[in-house]
Amino acid sequence: MNRILFLCTGNYYRSRYAEELFNHLAKLEGLTWRAFSRGAAERGSPDNVGPMSVFARDGLHEKGIVPEGATRDPLPCSLADFEAAALVIAVKEAEHRPLIERRFPTAAARVTYWHVDDVEFAHPSIALAMIDEHVRELVTNLQAEQGPS
């Protein structure tokens, strides 16, 4: 089983949504990939209440997806997480590249960056739609690489 690591700042909103959406679609498509997610920051924001952002949870529920990790608290990333992943994606380059380069200089070159803003800069309807598009494109690309199941 290949693994994808999704990173956002606090592992509360964007990376959690990407993880759950990817895992749902990967299962439907018979991919040999599964995602997990972490926060690039050493600790999450004190403003993050509960295990997962209501925006992520509601966005998943709107698609009929019950998040498997809905009760898991956000987790900060470690070097072992990079080592466990075949592919690493950070959801916002301007925000996450500096954090990753500072905390994980030996792993920083492995990261692919998207450009999805956090809630204070993009309404969740826009940000989640962008993540949807990226995740669906990723699933399509991995299907093509994997071949028929």
Q: Could you give the angle at which helices 54-62 and 124-146 cross, rounded to 10 degrees? A: 60
Per-residue pLDDT tens for 33-73?
999 999 998 776 666 667 899 999 999 999 999 999 888 99
* Res 127: pLDDT: 96
Give the chain's mean pLDDT. 92
109: number of Cβ within 10 Å: 8
pTM of the model: 0.93
DSSP string, 46-102: TT--SSS-HHHHHHHHHTT---TTTTSPP-B--HHHHHH-SEEEESBHHHHHHHHHH
* Residue bearing the bigger pLDDT, 42 or 108: 108
* Res 44: pLDDT: 63
* Res 148: pLDDT: 64
User: Can you read off the two tokens belonging to residue 5?
Assistant: 């690591």
C-alpha–C-alpha distance, residues 84 and 65, integer Å = 25
71: number of Cβ within 10 Å: 9
Percentage of the residues of the chain whose pLDDT score is greater than 70? 93
User: Can you read off the two tokens belonging to residue 53?
Assistant: 């952002």
Q: What's the mean pLDDT in 127-148?
A: 91
